[in-house]
Amino acid sequence: MKKQILLSLSLALALLNGAAVAADDAALRAKVVGTYHLQGERETGSGLRLTPDGRFEWSMSYGAVDQYAKGNWTLQGSHVLLEPVMARPQFRLFTEEESRFKPAAPGSWVAVVGVPNVGPIPDIEVQFVSRSGKTVTKASLPNGDAEIAMPKSEIWARAGLRRKDSKDDWQWIDIPAPLAAARIAGFAVDDISSVAPAPFKQMVLDASKDEGLAWIEVDGQHIDRTLTYSRD
């Protein structure tokens, strides 16, 4: 009888402790959700957004370098763990305002891949398909261009795009007649984090202090200096 009572008490205490931990985690989780910026850094700018559904967006700029990451965040005690997840890029045609291309030379077709007002995107496979069904595949170069030779008699019908050496499905885009006649088309990606590898695999932030989130570890390497994200 005594053993049963003790077991019941132990189970009750365990349940209460578990409920208390869960409540603490829920309170801390609600507390850290928000938008932050890196504090006190003159030459480096960095922003962080933690959403209630466990997603994050991170960016950093220093000099001419811009870095981006998106993914999932979780709590481990008082630490916030950021783990990037690279989403599949979504391609679209450049708008008329974004397209300032001269027609390609007869016998050549050109796909220009980039982030408007940011820069070119290399290593995107482009599958060129003519109305007759002729197909040629070429990856974009560092300048964002993928250029192929195609007989003058062929008319560009559509293009498929995906990351080079990936198992992504092709994203197919029909080529409007004016672009087919000019033999050149621009393909844009608006979310640069989907084509630029994240600069880290895991970042650890300390949420135990009231003033913000302290950056303490990146990919297992401890950060010696104090870097703090303050809430906007």
pLDDT tens-digit map of 165-221? 999 999 999 999 999 999 999 999 999 888 888 999 999 999 987 778 999 999 999
In angstroms, the CA 36 to CA 48 distance is 5
Domain contains 2: no
Look at residue 143 and tell me whether its pLDDT is greater than 80.
yes
| pLDDT given at position 1 | 56
Judged by DSSP in three states, 31 sits in: helix
Cα angle 122, 55, 165 (rounded to 5 degrees) comes to 25
| Distance between CA atoms of residues 79 and 96, nearest Å | 47
Residues 176, 219, single domain; the answer is no
Token reading at 91: 């391609």
What's the domain count of the chain?
Answer: 2
Q: Residue 18: pLDDT band by 50, 70, 90 thresholds? A: very low
Q: Collect all residues with Cβ–Cβ distance below 8 Å to 144 and sequence separation of at least 6.
A: 112, 113, 114, 119, 120, 121, 122
Do residue 14 and residue 76 come from a single domain? yes
Return the residue matching tokens 């092709």. 170
| Tokens matching residue 139 | 């990856």
- With beta carbons less than 8 A apart as the criterion, state whether 49 and 56 touch: yes
Tokens of residue 22, six digits:
């869960």
The verdict on pTM exceeding 0.75 is: no
CATH number at residue 52: 2.40.128.640
Residue corresponding to tokens 């979310």: 191
The predicted pLDDT at position 23 comes to: 46
> Residue 219 is part of which domain span?
10-86+198-231
CATH number for the domain harbouring residue 142? 2.60.40
